[in-house]
Amino acid sequence: MVVRQYFKDLVHLLFPSICVGCETPLLSHEELLCTECLYHLPFTDFHLDPESATARQLWGKLDFQFAVSMLYLSKFSRVEKIIHNLKYGNQPAVGYYLGKMYARKLVGVSDIEQIDLILPVPLHRSKLRTRGYNQSSYFAKGLAEGLEKEWTDTLLRRLKATVSQTKKSRSDRYDNVENIFHIKDSGAIKDKHILIVDDVLTTGATISSLGNVLIDAGAKVSVATIARA
């Protein structure tokens, strides 16, 4: 046991892991995020407010039960860096880590207790092939394990490879994601309360598009995202 710990410490000394929020070397007891970044994460506490900014963003677009986001996202922030590493840095474990973290905040929330199934927003197969993973699936998995809920990323399909939403206008974003989702087995979601999860909420176009497809198939929907821009 002592020898094993010695080699573990030696490897960490020679090849230190890097914080995904600020890129400083992590200490041996830290995982993915350094203590400084953890301390300064801008949690929204939207789960305590039924009329949160995330909920208001979706009003009139989606008939949801509740809508929450874990973190505030701003330009050049540690959250932006974390999301970038999750999506483009080949670090899917960040999504799982954040999902487990958010679950600890949501345990015991009455709205959460009513959830039957957690579904991540799917990627188109071309983007999935390029990236190698769906970042929202890892967030969903961590959230589901922490909340002891079922989840799957095989029930939904994205029909079109939409271009990036980043530089599109609000109206163009909605046009870009219209009629792009398909449910492989509608019976699996009928009369279920579905929690849709995604990485970032901006206009809400993508989540609204998917949510309305699920509602048309007989489900109730709620929303949880890692961050809100």
Q: What's the topology of domain 42-228? A: Rossmann fold (3.40.50)
Q: Give the residue extent of every domain in the chain.
A: 1-40, 42-228
**32: left (phi > 0), else alpha (psi -120 to 50), else beta?**
left
Nearest-angstrom CA–CA distance, 138 and 224? 13
Nearest-angstrom CA–CA distance, 84 and 100? 19
Q: How many CB atoms lie within 10 A of CB 86?
A: 27
Q: For the CA atoms of the chain, what is the radius of gyration?
A: 18
Its pTM stands at 0.89
182-204 in b/e form (b: 16+ CB < 10 A) is ebeeeebbeebbbbbbbbbbbbb
Local confidence pLDDT in tens for the 229 residues of the chain: 544 544 444 444 444 799 999 999 999 899 999 999 999 999 999 999 999 999 999 999 999 999 999 999 999 999 999 999 999 999 999 999 999 999 999 999 999 999 999 999 999 999 999 999 999 999 999 999 999 999 999 999 999 887 655 555 555 555 668 789 999 999 999 999 999 999 999 999 999 999 999 999 999 999 999 999 9
